C-alpha cells in the first residue's frame, strides 16, 4: 500500500486523539498531515515500505486509539517525509506549510543535529548524504 492509502484513516484517528489529549504539537502536526495529503502523489513516489518511518507511520493507522507518544512519533515521521521530498526534489520549492513544519522541527530544542536519535540522524545526516551521493 502507498502512503496516501493510509492518510485519511490517520487523519481520522489523529483528530480523535487530539480531542482526547492536550497536545502542544496538534496544530503543526495537522499542518504537516495536510501537506502530505496535498502532495500525496509525489510522496507516494519517494516513500515506500522499506522506509522505517513509513512502517511506523502506517502501523499507527491500524490502531483504534493513539496517545501523545504515538502522535509525537507520527509527527517525527511527517517531518522525515517532508525532508525526503525536499532532498529528492532540491530544485522544487516546498509549500509554505511544508517549510513551516521543517522550520518548527529545526528550531525546536526537542531535536538537535547532535542527537543520536534515529529521526535526528536521518534528518541532518542520512538524507543529505543520500542526496549528495545521487
Instruction: State the residue for C-alpha cell 516546498.
Output: 94
Contact yes or no for 86/92 (Cβ under 8 A) = no
What is the per-residue pLDDT across 46-68, written as a single tens digit (0 to 9) for each? 999 899 999 998 887 777 777 77
Q: Which structural domain range is residue 102 located in?
A: 4-133
Which tens digit of pLDDT belongs to each residue from 93-128?
Answer: 899 999 999 999 999 988 888 888 999 999 999 888
Taking the CA atoms of 75, 26, 97 and 106 in sequence, report the sign of the dihedral they define.
negative
The half-sphere exposure of 22 on its side-chain side, counting CA atoms within 13 A, is 0
How many domains, in total, are found in the chain? 1
Amino acid at each position: 500500500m502507498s502512503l496516501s492509502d493510509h492518510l485519511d484513516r490517520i487523519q481520522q484517528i489523529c483528530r480523535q486523539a487530539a480531542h482526547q489529549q492536550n497536545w502542544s504539537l496538534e496544530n503543526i502536526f495537522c499542518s504537516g498531515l495536510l501537506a502530505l495529503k496535498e502532495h500525496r502523489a509525489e510522496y507516494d513516489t519517494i516513500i515506500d515500505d522499506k522506509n522505517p518511518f513509513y512502517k511506523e507511520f502506517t502501523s499507527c493507522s491500524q490502531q483504534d486509539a493513539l496517545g501523545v507518544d504515538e502522535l509525537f512519533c507520527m509527527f517525527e515521521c511527517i517531518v522525515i517525509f517532508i525532508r525526503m521530498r525536499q532532498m529528492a526534489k532540491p530544485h522544487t520549492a516546498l509549500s509554505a506549510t511544508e517549510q513551516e513544519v521543517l522550520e518548527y522541527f529545526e528550531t525546536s530544542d526537542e531535536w538537535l543535529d547532535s542527537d543520536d536519535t534515529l529521526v535526528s540522524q536521518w534528518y541532518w545526516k542520512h538524507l543529505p548524504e543520500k542526496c549528495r551521493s545521487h
